Amino acid sequence: MNRPEKRNALNGEMVDGLLTALDLVERDEEVRAVILKGEGKVFCSGADLEDIKKMEANGFEENLADSRHLKTLFYKIYTFPKVVIAQVHGHAVAGGCGLVAVCDFSFVVPSAFMGYTEVRIGFVPAMVLVFLLRKIGEGAAKSLLLGGELVAGEKAKELGLVNDVFETEELEGKVKAFAEGLVKQNSGQSLALTKEMIAKVQEMDLEEALDYAAHMNAKARGNEDCKRGIAAFLEKKSIEW
């Protein structure tokens, strides 16, 4: 994200840019994982309130179209067939914290504050709460969404919002090493299918979920990665994906 002068606030142009970038790397077989970063001192300050202010005269349908544009980005990241990692070097607020929550893994520096301040300005943390509830559960989510308070790195880790906290000078290297280790040790096909299952199975009842799981189990057995992986295991050979 490259709007440091606006604290990387999300406007229509930035959302388009992120969607375009994700489309490009989705088609690129060389790319196995994506690291989301922000330029400047702030990771992302959320929706561009100046843009929202300009839209005050808009009707409901225009506002709905703009909201759905942002929804497309969150949904794209959540269902993206490759792992997406947030490298949070600075504050992540409101929609910016939503990006942290929707990524598969998030790593943060101790000084970065995160949270959802929408209720403090008469707004609502609408789309971000859908993913936050899935990530950390209702109790912890309510404390953030209804309290409107910001939490620093270690507290965010305690709540389950981020995976780990690294010092500023370590963050870049730690995240890169994590991403490289992840894609070397794990099958890309398996990561994609597992991520797809996580997104879908939570909305199913037990029997439907198990039927779906059985279908995906059978589907995975026919994948080339599965055949390679099982053969390597049985032959006691190491495999690097």
- Catalytic center residues: 118
Strands (E), the chain: 33-36, 83-88, 92-93, 105-108, 114-115, 164-165
- The answer to whether the CB of 129 falls within 8 A of the CB of 145 is yes
Q: In 3-state terms, what secondary structure has residue 92?
A: strand
Report the distance separating Cα 122 and Cα 225, nearest Å: 50
Contacts of 226 (CB under 8 A, 6+ apart): 187, 189, 190, 220
